[in-house]
Amino acid sequence: MHSLDDIDRRLLRLLQEEAGLPVTELAERAGVSAGACWRRIEKMERARVILGRAIDIDPRALGYEVRVFLRVVLDKAASHAFDDFLAAARALPEVIAIETLLGRVDIRMDVVARDLAHYQEIYRDRILALPHIAEIDALMLVSELKNSARLPI
Amino acid sequence: MAEIDDTDRAILRALLADGALGAKEVGLRVGLSQPAAWRRIRRLEEAGVIRGRSLILDREKLGFGVVVFLGVKLAAKGRLDLETFERAVQAIPEVQLVQQVIGVHDYRLRVVARDLSDFERILRRRIMTLPGVGQVESNVMLREEKNAPPPL
């Protein structure tokens, strides 16, 4: 764990809220000089605490109206079930997120589709063709109330 | 749905590769002047294609070792009180994601915690005590295997 002091944490909190904040304004809000602010951020970037900046794209604005979360239990009797499944699932462009889990289900995936007909096509032709699926269930997104990568620093 | 052309797609790809790029650098990569790139980025923001920019932090270096996905089912009588539940759950700082869904659960949550005992504390004190909560299923994330934008 990287050691941060209160000022570092304050800078991260401010930047998590507004990633585009210019250094001068960030420094003023955090109560440090612009030079000190810049050095601290650079230090956190060098230590790879700050990995970079990302843009957040809204799938709906690109025409993907449907978003489904699939939860998969794999047939663990098959050897390499995880590796085979993950390699095939990663190659599907409409599968935008995959995580391996410890719990009742083994894997969860986010699937985007233009509409329900498009989703059905992806599900039947490509998802169900993935190897070693023992069980699969689906949750369909109705609305997203909160989505933030913000850490409670 | 926003109308976007190949140049917009090239801009989005450049920004997805590095969200810190300014209009000048984006322009250089896609063959536009700085003002033209700036105008297009601005338009993508106004159309809601680019929702915002965020800082990418190393969660584990900052001491958050655990991510848990929760499936929450509301208790039968909790259904009357969706708004109270929704307001309260969004206010928990460790809850990063709240999605209303149709299926075996009513809501999906993503929770970050320092470790499993910290997660247990958040689950017991903050989530199980929310108004209307019925069954909760927890799945601890082992690894993020893919995190990609939708096909452009």
CA B108 to the chain's CA centroid: 12
Let me know: does A53 contact B20? Beta carbons within 8 Å: yes
Q: Where are the domains of chain B?
A: 6-46, 66-140
Coil, strand or helix at A94: coil
CATH of domain B6-46: 1.10.10.10
Residue A1 clears pLDDT 70, i.e. is over it: no
Residue linked to tokens 């499936």: B71
CA A103 to the chain's CA centroid: 19
Q: Where are the domains of chain A?
A: 6-46, 59-140
ipTM of the complex: 0.89
Residue B81 clears pLDDT 90, i.e. is over it: no
CATH 3.30.70.370 assigned to A59-140: no
pLDDT above 90 covers a percentage of chain B that reads 88
Residue B1 clears pLDDT 90, i.e. is over it: no
Distance CA B57, CA B64 (A): 11
Contact check, Cβ <8 Å, B57/A100 = no
- On whether any CB of chain A is under 8 Å from the CB of B84, the answer is no
pLDDT of residue A20: 83
pLDDT of residue B3: 86
CATH of domain B66-140: 3.30.70.920
Residue B92 clears pLDDT 70, i.e. is over it: yes
Mean pLDDT of A23-30: 93
A59-140 and A6-46 share a CATH fold: no
Chain A residue whose CA is closest to B20:
A53
Coil, strand or helix at A33: coil
Mean pLDDT of B140-147: 94
Residue A14 CB contacts under 8 Å (≥ 6 apart), including other chains: A21, A26, A29, A30
pLDDT tier for residue B78 given thresholds of 50, 70 and 90:
low
pTM over 0.80: yes
Buried b / exposed e over A7-22, threshold 16 CB at 10 Å, is ebebbbebbbeebebe
Fold assignment, A6-46: Arc Repressor Mutant, subunit A (1.10.10)
Let me know: does B69 contact A100? Beta carbons within 8 Å: no
- On whether any CB of chain A is under 8 Å from the CB of B76, the answer is no
Chain B residue whose CA is closest to A68:
B101
Contact check, Cβ <8 Å, B108/A69 = yes
Record the tokens describing residue B26, joined without a space.
């984006």
- On whether any CB of chain B is under 8 Å from the CB of A15, the answer is yes
